[in-house]
Amino acid sequence: MKSERPRPTESELGILRILWEHGPLSVRAVLHKLSEEKPIGYTNVLKMMQIMTEKGLVERDESCRPQIYRPRDPQAKTQRQLLRHLLDRAFGGSTRAMVMQALSTEKTSPQELKAIEKLLDRIEGEQK
């Protein structure tokens, strides 16, 4: 059985989002981006990123100073892992139940509905 990396916490996801959006960064650069939303200390960010390195969520390039961190997995892969976990825990593995709940929770724009229909048509075509 393939082992997955540990799921990131909310704080770790915040750091990963910054790295996915801006590319590899130093701790100080991540701190600057995080501080735009709420104050946080350098040592807190450093410690979180060290833990993320130990968990295998990010990689650290130690060949340069300051050290640069990058996400180990692409955003889509992490999102799929989190979605699989949510699907199993909250919806008993039922994709239908999860999609129905997602669509009924918030108003879906006509553009989003067209994109969903297009995706469903493509999936249906692949299954034939």
Which residues constitute the domain of residue 88?
75-127
Confirm whether pTM is higher than 0.85.
Answer: no
Residue 101 shares a structural domain with residue 116: yes
Residue 86: phi, psi to the nearest 5?
-65, -45
51 and 15 fall within a common domain = yes
Which structure tokens are listed for 90? 């909250």
Digit-coded pLDDT (tens) for 55-70: 999 999 999 899 999 9
43 plus 84 within the same structural domain: no
Residues 53 and 82 in one domain: no
110 Cβ neighbours under 8 A, 6+ residues apart: none
**pLDDT tens-digit profile of 20-73?**
999 999 999 999 999 999 999 999 999 999 999 999 999 999 998 999 999 999
Task: Report d(CA 72, CA 26) in Å as an integer.
Answer: 15
4 is a domain residue = no
Whether 112 and 59 share a structural domain: no
